Amino acid sequence: MEDKPQGYAKQVEIENYIIHKIKINEFKEGTKIPSENELSTLFKVNRHTVRKAIERVRQLGWLYAIQGKGCFVRKKPSSISYPIVSKGCFSDNLNGLSKNHASKLINWTKQTAQRDEIKALKLSPEENVYRLDILRYVDEVPIAVYTSVLPEKVFPGLECHLGGFYSLFKIIRQHYGFSPVCKYQTIEATFPSLEDMELLEITNHISILKSKIINIHPDGMPVEYCISRIRGDRYKYTLRFNN
Amino acid sequence: MEDKPQGYAKQVEIENYIIHKIKINEFKEGTKIPSENELSTLFKVNRHTVRKAIERVRQLGWLYAIQGKGCFVRKKPSSISYPIVSKGCFSDNLNGLSKNHASKLINWTKQTAQRDEIKALKLSPEENVYRLDILRYVDEVPIAVYTSVLPEKVFPGLECHLGGFYSLFKIIRQHYGFSPVCKYQTIEATFPSLEDMELLEITNHISILKSKIINIHPDGMPVEYCISRIRGDRYKYTLRFNN
DNA sequence: TAGTGGTCTAGACCACTAC
DNA sequence: TAGTGGTCTAGACCACTAT
């Protein structure tokens, strides 16, 4: 009952037309499709109806728009496959894929832990945590936002090591003498928040792969709670099982 | 440059207003928010501007709409966590979570394999495959669509066993004498196709967790290539590592 | 019948791009 | 300057819900 589609006649006709033209390669990768005005005269509908149709097709990942220029067919298989493994940091795991990559610390705070952080990191209430917002680039494109939550008691004086930030994993290994290991991860599909839209330079036409990760010290103690938001159009997880 | 937001002033103001009211519990779970007309007079903007704002907030998963009734605040943590493990079928893995579930065979074909299927299943061109479209329900709600591709040479006469379909995994175990095991899985976030929207009874306001899975025979031969599309608002993967 | 959300039309103005 | 996409207004009509 809730949210069911109904009577989309004209809009869907235009959506299918565009997708079909792309599939049969009449609208080719990287080239401009007809403008909103051209399509509205072609289909004898209002420009806004065309806009709604194009918006849907963009949302499906087929198109992107540049103001003043037009609407272009997106290269489809441009996504990066990222292997999920419990050990090693982002850089190490991407190095095997020969990609340029960089990390940028957007901002950090030291505050008392919130409810979900207390639960994930097994803290007592009122304990302090560092909260780091990190933006990750691959081939100069912002691809992911991470919020990393780290207990102060495990990482005392962390702020002293954040100058010239390049890799949290390496800071931990170098200054605290261990390598965190992934214990638990959840994966879901969602949409970008307004903040993440700005950081990732995307609109709501792109979906988000959201993960929550708990990393532990080799002795078993949870030491990092990480919430990542990754561009769904450029990124894909891969999992390999060794039975 | 591409797809950057700009000058959303009014729309964003309304978006933030609605989300804020939900967060501070002034708009409560399951209750109606003010109608489009009420909001448009409140903010002194056109109804269509309100509609665009509400559409964004719906897309973020906060709201759902019922025609003729209004717009309601969605219960947020209604999602099912599904553990990723290499062994066992959907039913087995969900039974531990004490959920009702069912599978329905939507349709099936026997055709020559396509390029991606040939690659995934290591077939030679022109080999036949069964292609099964399966809809999965949890608690009576359609939650996922699976397309399962199975080589005819591995599953001869599969069509004879599809009457009274309830679980592909169990059909294979019963009639072909082995249990497939997951070897490789990719996970991405995307949007529903028009067909999947109908089957899952959703609109494009809900994101999709898409997985491609290669299952193998215990001897190592790939025997099933499965493309699943799962409702992003109700479903989440979990991964547990044993180091 | 009145109120709600859903679709479509019509037109204005803006910001950006190309020439 | 002309063309393009982005935002906003204004109003019509439809389908559905409640009374």
Q: Please check the confidence at residue A148 and state whether its pLDDT lies above 60.
A: yes
Determine the distance between A48 (CA) and C10 (C1') in angstroms.
10
pLDDT at A29 (0 to 100)? 86
State residue B5's pLDDT score.
37
Closest CA to B132 of B153, B108, B103: B108
The token pair at B234 is 């109700």
Covered bases, chain C (protein CB within 7 Å): 3-11, 14-18
pLDDT of residue B7 exceeding 90, the answer is no
- Measured between CB atoms, does A197 come within 8 Å of chain B? yes
Average model confidence (pLDDT) across chain A: 84
Identify the three-state secondary structure at position B210: strand
Q: Which nucleotide across the nucleic acid strands is nearest to A46, CA versus C1'?
A: C9
| Contact list, B53 vs chain A (CB under 8 Å) | none
Residue numbers of B between 69 and 98 with CB closer than 8 Å to A? 79, 81, 84, 86-87
Average pLDDT of the segment spanning B181-209: 83
Question: With a CB-CB cutoff of 8 Å, which residues 41-60 of chain B face chain A?
Answer: 56, 58-60
Q: What percent of chain A has pLDDT over 70?
A: 89
How close does chain A come to B51, measured CA to CA in Å?
13
Query: Which chain B residue has its CA at the smallest distance from A239's CA?
Result: B185
> What residue has token string 């997951």?
B182
Q: Residue A70 has what pLDDT?
A: 93
Least CB–CB distance from B207: residue in A6, A67, A189: A189
Distance CA A99, CA A140 (A): 10
Q: Give the mean model confidence (pLDDT) for residues A14-30.
A: 88
Query: Average per-residue pLDDT in chain B?
Result: 85
- Residue labelled with tokens 């069912």: B102
Contact (CB, 8 A) for A79 and A235: yes
Close Cβ partners of A213 (under 8 Å, ≥ 6 residues apart):
A182, A184, A185, A224, A225, A226, A227, A228
pLDDT given for residue B38 in this prediction: 92
User: Among A173-187, A208-222, B54-68, B109-123, where is mean pLDDT lowest?
Assistant: B54-68
Nearest-angstrom CA–CA distance, B227 and B151: 15
CA–CA gap between residue B61 and residue B70 (Å, rounded): 16
The amino acid that residue B203 corresponds to is T
Query: Dmax of chain A from CA atoms?
Result: 68
Cβ partners under 8 Å of residue A180, min gap 6: A169, A172, A215, A216, A217, A223, A224
| pLDDT value at A139 more than 80 | no
Q: Classify the C-alpha dihedral B182-B186-B189-B191 as positive or negative.
A: negative
Q: Are residues B50 and B205 in contact, defined by beta-carbon separation less than 8 angstroms?
A: no
Residue A138's nearest CA partner among A204, A94, A192, A186 is A94
Identity of the residue in A182, A204, A236 whose CB atom sits nearest the CB atom of B186: A236
B77-134 pLDDT per residue, tens: 556 777 777 666 665 555 555 567 788 899 899 999 988 899 999 999 889 999 999 9
pLDDT at A4: 33
Using the 8-state DSSP alphabet, how is residue A158 labeled?
A: G
Scan for tokens 């309830």, then name that residue: B166
Are B237 and A187 inside 8 Å of each other by CB? yes
Residue B152 has pLDDT above 90, yes or no: yes
CA of B35 to C1' of C11 (A): 26
State whether residue B10 sits within 8 Å of chain A by CB.
Answer: no
CA of B196 to C1' of C9 (A): 30
Q: Which residue is closest to A190 within chain B, CA to CA? A: B207
Indicate if the pLDDT at residue A155 is higher than 90. Answer: yes
- If pLDDT is split at 50, 70 and 90, which confidence band does B44 have? very high
Taking the Cβ of residue B178 and every Cβ of chain A, the question of whether any pair is shorter than 8 Å is answered with no
